[in-house]
Structure 1
């Protein structure tokens, strides 16, 4: 079976699709890691439908720190000089 050949425009479109999918995969992995980290840090007991107020506050703070840090990093990367 031969490998299909695509014109340059199709190759570019496929590469852009793959790049977007890889970025989505990295984001999902980051979210998973972040969720696990905050859960392990904040959830101290077994929750039956509700978190304690201390757990809620911890989760909220953890999420806010993660978002603030992510925004900071994105801004720094955007401001780096291009090589």
Structure 2
């Protein structure tokens, strides 16, 4: 039996899918960030605690990632508001 969804249901499903895709992208970014920062900052076998240089490196790495992510989001929003994206 072929059932079609009404417009409101289709819009709700599209919104749900967009959110799920955004969450998947965020998870992927976090995994990528973890790998990059770990490889860059953790130089030896980790013990119970990170060294002060590792802590500093990890904090800076994450801060730069967040800065660049926020910058990209702002750029996308500006393009979208200017009609650059459909």
TM-score after normalising by structure 1: 0.89
> Runs of 4 or more off by more than 4 Å in structure 1?
none
- 68-77 vs 37-46, greater mean Cα deviation: 68-77
TM-score after normalising by structure 2: 0.86
Q: Matched residues in 1 for 2:76 and 2:13: separation? A: 26
What residue ranges of structure 2 are gaps of 5+ in the alignment?
none
Q: Matched residues in 1 for 2:6 and 2:66: separation? A: 41
Task: Report what 1:75 is aligned to.
Answer: 74
Deviations 1:24-61 (A, max 9, x none): 10111011101110001000111122001110010011
Paired residue total: 82
Task: Report what 1:10 is aligned to.
Answer: 9
* Counterpart secondary structure, 2:74: helix
* Counterpart secondary structure, 2:66: helix
What residue ranges of structure 1 are gaps of 5+ in the alignment?
none
Q: How far 1:3 moved relative to its partner?
A: 4.0
